[in-house]
Amino acid sequence: MSIIAPDEEILTVGPLEVAPAEHLARGGGQTLNLSARELRLLAELARRTDRIVSREQLYELVWGRPLRPGDRSVDVYVRKLRVKLSLALPEWSFIHTHFGFGYRFAAQRRRVVP
Amino acid sequence: MSIIAPDEEILTVGPLEVAPAEHLARGGGQTLNLSARELRLLAELARRTDRIVSREQLYELVWGRPLRPGDRSVDVYVRKLRVKLSLALPEWSFIHTHFGFGYRFAAQRRRVVP
DNA sequence: TACTGTGGTGAACAACGCGTGAACAGCCTG
DNA sequence: CAGGCTGTTCACGCGTTGTTCACCACAGTA
């Protein structure tokens, strides 16, 4: 029995676990070292697994204000997340681009190069 | 069973053993020489292994009163602990910083430089 | 193939959280 | 009393973070 009771929300997407309330994400036998924004973005994506989320929607969810035209913040943070996720789980890919629409979060085994 | 009745809590985190009731911690084949505060901090961290603990929470747990803004005591004692832990167990790291959130205690083999 | 718009990527930058060494006073012990 | 240990506070500077920019890569289309 643990001292603190984590009755908190835990999002499981394939081999990845995201616990926004605990400020952390686990995968590949390790705890990912994510910044505040990165974790927030990951959580919002994980909450919408298998659905396409537009940049505008993502920005409002994570930043809490409307996306200004020309703002590439979402793209930049998607990249940061992709790097850290593939570092912890090299055989998996999670953030899939849907050209012209947005991103879709889903655990997918990466094609192995022979 | 030992002479002194230790039905007490013994926290094991990787190669490290913490026995708060006995006021000591063992690791790397030796008993660590920790001060009262250091041991207390170590115990509270070890009790929450793999979870992020904020500075505010840690301070209240160890010092027993709310953390005043600007007080860096936790940071200083985390440093003292890190030094002594890595002295006894050079190949391991235990206290991991989560920027903007707090610290997370977990036994992790240090990355060896090739 | 060439064109156009969307997305990927690396880097520069300021702000600031955190790591770190040191100074200091209080306490205990010899 | 002297010396060592402890706990606390301070100042300095490094590394991380968040943001923005420029440039490149690629998809879709004519």
Looking at residue A103, which CATH number applies to its domain? Answer: 1.10.10.10
Q: Specify if A52 maps to a domain.
A: yes
Nearest CA in chain A to B107: A30
pLDDT tens across the length of chain B (114 residues): 444 444 578 999 999 999 999 899 999 899 999 999 999 999 999 999 999 999 999 999 999 999 999 999 999 999 999 999 999 999 999 999 999 999 999 999 986 544
Q: Specify if B21 maps to a domain.
A: yes
Task: Please state the domain count of chain B.
Answer: 1
State yes or no: pLDDT of A12 exceeds 70: yes
Cα(B68)–Cα(A101) distance, integer angstroms: 47
Q: Specify if B89 maps to a domain.
A: yes
Q: Specify if B20 maps to a domain.
A: yes
Q: Specify if A1 maps to a domain.
A: no
CA dist B78 → A32, B55, B84 (Å):
21, 10, 10
The range of the structural domain enclosing residue A68 comes to 6-109
Nucleotides of D under 7 A from a protein CB: 5-11, 16-22, 27-28
Nearest-CA distance from A88 to chain B in Å?
Answer: 14
Which residues of A are less than 8 Å from B104 in CB distance?
A: 24, 31
Beta bridge partners of B14: none
Buried b (16+ CB within 10 A) or exposed e, B93-105: bbbeebeebbbbb
CA distance between the termini of chain B: 44
Q: Specify if A114 maps to a domain.
A: no
Q: Specify if B1 maps to a domain.
A: no
